[in-house]
Amino acid sequence: MALLDDIRDPRDLKRLSREDLPQVADELRAEVVRACSKVGGHLASSLGAVELTVALHYLYDSAHDRIVWDVGHQTYGHKILTGRRDRIGTIRTDGGLAGFTTSSESEHDALTVGHASTSLAASLGMALSRDARGEDYDIVAVIGDGALTGGMALAALNQIGHVKPRMTIVLNDNEMSISENVGALTHYLSTVQVQRWFQDAEKGSKQALTGVWEPLADLGSRAKKAARRFLDPASNNPFHAMGVRYVGPIDGHDIEQLLYYLEHIRRLDGPTMLHIITRKGKGYRVAEKDPITWHGASSFDPEHPVAKGKAFSWSNAFGRAASAMADADDRVWVITPAMREGSGLVDFSRAHPDRFIDVGIAEDVAVTVGAGLALRGEKPIVAVYSSFLQRGYDQVIHDVSLESLDVIFAIDRAGLVGGDGATHQGIYDMAYLRAIPNLAIGMPSDVGELRGMLKAAFRLGGPRAIRWPRGPVEEAPAGAFEAWPELAWGSWEILKRGSEVSLLAMGPTLAYALDVAGDDPRVGVVNARFVKPIDVAVLSALARSQRALITVEDHTVMGGLGSAVAEALADLGIAVALHRLGVPDVTVPHGTPARQHEALGYGPEGIRAVLATLGIGLGAESVTEVEPQATASRRSAVANASK
């Protein structure tokens, strides 16, 4: 009988006997696989945390106690056990469950999260409040070895060891971030695993040798004891040294062991770290074998799981371009904060291992390492997702822009990102970067422009941000760096002249603008590919000759292209009707970007609606699903037609 069918709430889990728990874990695992096979998601991390999830919910009351999952991507099992089983197949889709823990979704989600390394500081805050108010509940932070590489986590640990609140920290160590984990702590954690192996070996050899040849057994054990002392956690353990009690490592797939240790730790004063060893993808062969591919899976056939081939993407285009740049000039380095795969850098890391740096989940460090390299005359590219660069904001200002250093920020996932949702939306970078002196910003609409911008950034020097969206892009034949197009930084491109109104769009919204304008002579289209500086000459000519301008951007309207245009018009003293379309002042959850663009008013229908208010009705014949990424062919069609 399926036990999961009777678990509507963690209280139902607690009614089961301990012997039943492994079966619950198996069922949870199957359910996670089923859900991910339908809609994709963070499969491997959730599979690796199934036993831990069962143990935590068996022991703690998650509605009252606080279980603080770091990142929140490993919580599909937690969601199933906490009343969301019937909706788990909707995870990350429009209107469905969020892909991470989200407080507004459930009282069992202690933290709204998605970015890594926040669990320890948040748990400390909760513990401070609890203790100040004399309340009584448990706090358990669950953090992966990857998330522990983040400066926030380490700084919080430093403070936890100082304040010493009663809390449990479960270090879920699978030796993986998205790719292989990096850093000195990672090396330390694997040393501790060797120690565990040593202890097991010692036990095994004792049993095998007892009664056979005692002196040999004794000799073996004495040598091992000496080695063990060398690796003794009490003397060498960095967590201990920071004031956090350390226990482990233990097998994180053994529920009995997990319960045994968690129960004991729960009664202890002060902070205690339980180090558990798990396997990413546990229990599902393909995910165990290739946890990198199955970290974030697309939908698949659960009987014959094969990872779907992905279309050529902006990230791939960047990775190739970066390799060509590094081939052409040995001062080119690429720095990633733990996003080798996502940023399209696997090939680069193989071709140029000496100039590829993965700093772990530490965006601040990535930016300042870039600054250090640039200070010594190198040409670093900091490859980072738009939403994660938020973590390196001060470093962009303080370490890079003040000295106007030659650092290229290669910003991936700009715009709405789909399933990852609110925490990952790349819709603030233009707003937060535009205010920084010396920093220039562009957004290509096809691969040729991407290369042109990278080439211009490399040649011109100074801090330059180039942003592009998530998803596919039309591939262009690879070429040597020297042969890439020349592009004047700051220049806009008039794709179509209109007699009355111009649409100013950038990146993915350019396809919308071109589609809506069609061949209507009243509506022009401009590729407003730079927001800093903007093309004042083109803008002022347009503003003086048109009765309205409409900016269209996949970014918050506050501070992006529309703001840049409004500010420039004000400075020029030109009064012209300006309509700014983009993300209004709201948070945007997970969903299908093209649908969300439409719902937020900056898809093709939204543009048509604004044109209609200006008396420019455009026939419904062009109401088609527009693929926002397919800009290159649309641009060249328009360019050819207007020749």
Q: Which active-site residues does the annotation give? A: 280, 363, 391
In the complex, least distance from residue 548 CB atom to ligand TPP, rounded to whole angstroms: 40
Are the CB atoms for 382 and 370 separated by under 8 Å? yes
Contacts of 240 (CB under 8 A, 6+ apart): 233, 234, 246
Is residue 147 a contact residue for ligand TPP (CB under 6 A)?
Answer: yes
- Are 59 and 263 in contact, with CB atoms under 8 Å apart? yes
The residue to which tokens 């850093």 are assigned:
183
- One DSSP character per residue, 35-71 reads HHHHH-B-HHHHHHTHHHHHHHHHHS-TTTSEEEESS
Q: Segment near ligand TPP (CB under 6 A), from 169-177, 254-262, 345-353, 531-539?
A: 169-177
- Minimum CB separation of residue 114 from ligand TPP in Å reads 6
How many angstroms separate the Cα of 461 from the Cα of each of 269, 312, 384? 55, 29, 19
Q: What's the min distance (Å) between Cβ of 164 and ligand TPP?
A: 24
User: Which stretch in 170-178, 221-229, 513-521, 531-539 sits in contact with ligand TPP by CB under 6 A?
Assistant: 170-178
User: What percent of the chain is helix, strand and coil (3-state, nearest 5)?
Assistant: 45, 15, 40
If the CB atoms of residues 395 and 445 are measured against ligand TPP, the closer one turns out to be: 395
CA–CA separation, 294 vs 278, rounded Å?
Answer: 16
DSSP 311: P
Give the residues across from 277 on adjacent strands.
Answer: 173, 251
Closest CB 192 distance from ligand TPP, rounded Å: 15
Residues 6+ apart with CB under 8 A from 244: 157, 160, 161, 169, 270, 271, 272, 273
CB of 356 vs ligand TPP, minimal distance in Å = 16
- Contact region with ligand TPP (CB under 6 A), list: 83-91, 175-183, 220-228, 308-316: 175-183
Residue with tokens 């009614």: 15
Tell me how far apart the alpha carbons of residues 596 and 590 are, in angstroms, rounded to a whole number.
9
The interface mask with ligand TPP, positions 562-591, x = CB under 6 A, is ------------------------------
Q: Which stretch binds ligand TPP (CB under 6 A): 140-148, 242-250, 567-575, 587-595?
A: 140-148
- Assess contact for 523 and 498: CB atoms under 8 A: yes
Identity of the residue, 239 or 481, whose beta carbon is nearer to ligand TPP in the bound complex: 239
151-163 and 119-132 helices, crossing angle to 10°: 30
**Rounded-to-integer distance, Cα 54 and Cα 69, Å:** 14
Interface pick for ligand TPP out of 146, 183, 283, 344 (rule CB under 6 A)? 146
CB-wise, 297 or 576, nearer to ligand TPP?
297
Number of residues that bind ligand TPP (CB under 6 A): 21
Least Å distance, CB 224 to ligand TPP, is 30
> Cβ 424 to ligand TPP, closest distance in Å?
8
Q: Which stretch binds ligand TPP (CB under 6 A): 2-10, 141-149, 326-334, 440-448?
A: 141-149
Give the HSE-up count for residue 440: Cα atoms under 13 Å, Cβ half-sphere.
25
Q: Report how far residue 317's alpha carbon sits from residue 445's, in angstroms, rounded to the nearest whole number.
A: 12
Residues 308-367 that bind ligand TPP (CB under 6 A): 337-338, 361
Q: Is residue 391 a contact residue for ligand TPP (CB under 6 A)? A: yes
Burial 360-384 (b: 16+ CB within 10 A, else e): bbbbbbbbbbbbebbeeebbbbbbb
Binding ligand TPP by CB under 6 A: which of 168, 174, 315, 349?
Answer: 174
For ligand TPP, give the closer residue by CB, 55 or 71: 71
Q: Which amino acid is at 630?
A: A
Selected binder of ligand TPP within 116, 277, 511, 618 (CB under 6 A): 116
Query: Quick one: 295 or 608, whose CB is closer to ligand TPP?
Result: 295
Query: Given candidates 10, 40, 41, 48, which one binds ligand TPP under the rule CB under 6 A?
Result: 48
Stretch that binds ligand TPP, among 157-165, 174-182, 371-379, 635-643 (CB under 6 A): 174-182
Peptide bond into 469 cis (omega under 30): no
Choose among 526, 527, 509: nearest CA to 449.
527
Tokens standing for residue 218: 């004794």
Among the listed residues 41, 144, 344, 507, the single contact to ligand TPP using CB under 6 A: 144
Of 111 and 361, which CB lies nearer to ligand TPP in the complex structure?
361
* Smaller CB separation from ligand TPP, 237 or 387: 387
**Least distance (Å) between residue 410 CB and ligand TPP:** 15
- Of the pair 127, 361, the CB lying nearest ligand TPP is at 361
Looking at the Cβ atoms of 190 and 545, the one nearer to ligand TPP is 190
Structure tokens, 295: 């970290």
Check binding of 597 to ligand TPP (CB under 6 A): no
Q: According to the binding rule CB under 6 A, does residue 501 interact with ligand TPP?
A: no
Query: Which residues have CB under 8 Å from 345's CB, separation 6+?
Result: 319, 322, 334, 336, 339, 356, 383
Minimum distance from residue 297 beta carbon to ligand TPP (Å): 12
x/- site string to ligand TPP, residues 176 to 195, per CB under 6 A? xxx-----------------
Report the C-alpha dihedral over residues 447, 450, 456, 459, rounded to 10 degrees. Answer: -90
Tokens of 31: 């359910």
Helix (H, G, I), strand (E, B) or coil at 558: coil
Residues between 248 and 307 with contacts to ligand TPP, criterion CB under 6 A: 280
Q: Name the segment binding ligand TPP (CB under 6 A); options: 142-150, 403-411, 512-520, 565-573.
A: 142-150
User: Which of the residues 53 through 92 are near ligand TPP (CB under 6 A)?
Assistant: 71, 73-74
Closer Cβ to ligand TPP, 177 or 401, answer by number: 177
Output 141 or 501, the one with its CB closest to ligand TPP.
Answer: 141
**Residues contributing to the site for ligand TPP (CB under 6 A):** 45, 48, 71, 73-74, 115-116, 144-147, 174, 176-178, 280, 337-338, 361, 388, 391
